[in-house]
Structure 1
Amino acid sequence: MTTKFHQLLQAQVRNEFSAAQQYTALAVWFDGQDLPQLARFFYRQSQEERDHAMMITQYLLDNDIPPVVPGVDEPRNDFTDAVELVSLALQQERAVTEEITTLARTARDEDNYLGEQFVQWFLKEQVEEVASMTTLLNVVKRAGGNLFDVETWLARETTPGSPDPTAPRVAGAGA
């Protein structure tokens, strides 16, 4: 029998895959503008969102809840400038934060201690994601249209981190 929490987790798998597709669309736009640092940043974001979907999938599998691999929302592909793209990314991260908060609240309301513990990592992750996108948006705005300054900033200030040892397991990661 599935609970509301488990139903929301299933929906979150779709949300995470949709977010991954949207980040891919942003990365491709930047790649098409010959902005490799911005493209790389958003390709990484896309992979992170896919990993989040697969972490939730692994949790469902581990708890004998048959996961459903969903379709995804159509990503937006039409953009005019970098501020618009990064604003969309920030808006997306804020929406995901609300979704994860709802998951945590629902797990708590259902006395699902394992579910609540599982969601804690995602809450921490969302604080980092919103902060990162907020900073990037501020940098893009301050650059005043000079995206080469943004490229230089990204090259200097961002490095791929090592995997978080506290992160939930990603389904298929060892395959």
Structure 2
Amino acid sequence: MDTKRISSKLEQALSAQMNVEDLQSHVYLSYGIWATDKGYNGIGNFLFRHAQEERNHAIKFMEYILNRGGKPKVEALPAPGNDPKNLADCFNLVFKHEVENTEKIYALVDLAFAEKDWATWNFLQWFVKEQIEEESLAMDLIDKLNIAGGDQATDESLFTLDQTLAKMPDEAEMARNATAENP
């Protein structure tokens, strides 16, 4: 008996988005490594936690596809790209990635609507809301850096920004607290 309750087209599109979320995780991981290497440990850890959140998003897509009787396909991921030039570039790239991801989520919502797959349409509403939060967070990073002085920020204001982001709440566990049993 065939138990698949999702079209092949949606299955492939959701699987592709699973891989996009995984790539986003790698991008945030690479930015976190860059920030930590530059001495911004708080910003680095914030980005590491965000990398974990993006991985969790990939897992949500994987689980949904499996629960609908489909089989997600893990694809090879491209390299995350070059390191940011500075903090302003880093935060602008974060915003750019989030806007691009929002566009991909909207395309999935359109596809689910066109196919009248209301279960998938409903599932995707969580991601629509999440992308509003993600874009707002990215804009907040840019605003905080601008308030600190932008490219002309003093070491003291960058230190304060670094400390602020280290304490910022996040959905994902602190990266340094992760274990094999509790990723």
- TM bucket normalised to smaller: 0.7 to 0.9
Aligned to 2:25: 20
Per the alignment, residue 97 of structure 1 pairs with 102
Following TM superposition, by how much is the alpha carbon of 1:155 offset from its aligned partner in structure 2, in angstroms?
A: 4.2
1: distance between equivalents of 2:83 and 2:43?
17
For 2:37 and 2:172, the matched residues in 1 are separated by 28
Amino acid in the other structure paired with 1:106: L
TM-score (norm 1): 0.86
Partner of 1:152: 163
In the superposition, the TM-score normalised over structure 2's length comes to 0.83
CA shift, 1:7, in A, is: 1.8
User: Are 1:53 and 2:64 an aligned pair?
Assistant: no
Q: Is the 8 A contact 2:30 2:83 kept in 1?
A: no
Q: Residue 166 of structure 1 corresponds to which residue in structure 2?
A: none
Which runs of 5 or more structure 1 residues have no equivalent in the other structure? 164-172
Task: Please tell me whether the aligned partners of residues 21 and 58 of structure 2 are also in contact (alpha carbons under 8 angstroms).
Answer: yes
Distance 1:30 1:111 in 2: 44
Distance 1:174 1:40, change over 3 A: closer
Root-mean-square deviation over aligned CA pairs: 2.1
Per the alignment, residue 9 of structure 2 pairs with 4
CA shift for structure 1 position 154:
2.1
Against the structure 1 CA distance between its residues 33 and 162, is the aligned structure 2 distance closer, same or farther, given a 3 Å change threshold? closer
2:177 maps to what in 1? none
Please state how far the C-alpha of 1:3 moved relative to its aligned partner: 3.4
Tell me how far apart the structure 1 counterparts of residues 172 and 24 of structure 2 sit (CA, whole Å).
22
Deviation of 1:62 after TM superposition, in Å, equals 0.7
Q: Which residue of 1 aligns with 2:74?
A: 69
Q: Is the 8 A contact 1:26 1:77 kept in 2?
A: no
d(CA) in 1 for partners of 2:68, 2:13: 15
Aligned pairs for 1:29-44 within 5 A: 29-44=34-49
Q: Secondary structure at the match of 2:58?
A: helix
Match of 1:60, SS state, is helix
Structure 1 ranges of 4+ moved more than 6 A: none
Number of aligned pairs? 165
Q: Secondary structure at the match of 1:11?
A: helix
Percent same amino acid among aligned pairs?
Answer: 28
Relative to structure 1, is the Cα distance of residues 43 and 162 closer, same or farther in structure 2, using a 3 angstrom cutoff? closer
Larger radius of gyration: 2
What is the CA–CA distance in structure 2 between the aligned matches of 1:162 and 1:69, rounded to whole Å? 22
- 1:162 CA displacement: 8.0
Residues 127 and 11 (structure 1), Cα distance of their counterparts in 2 relative to 1, 3 Å cut: same
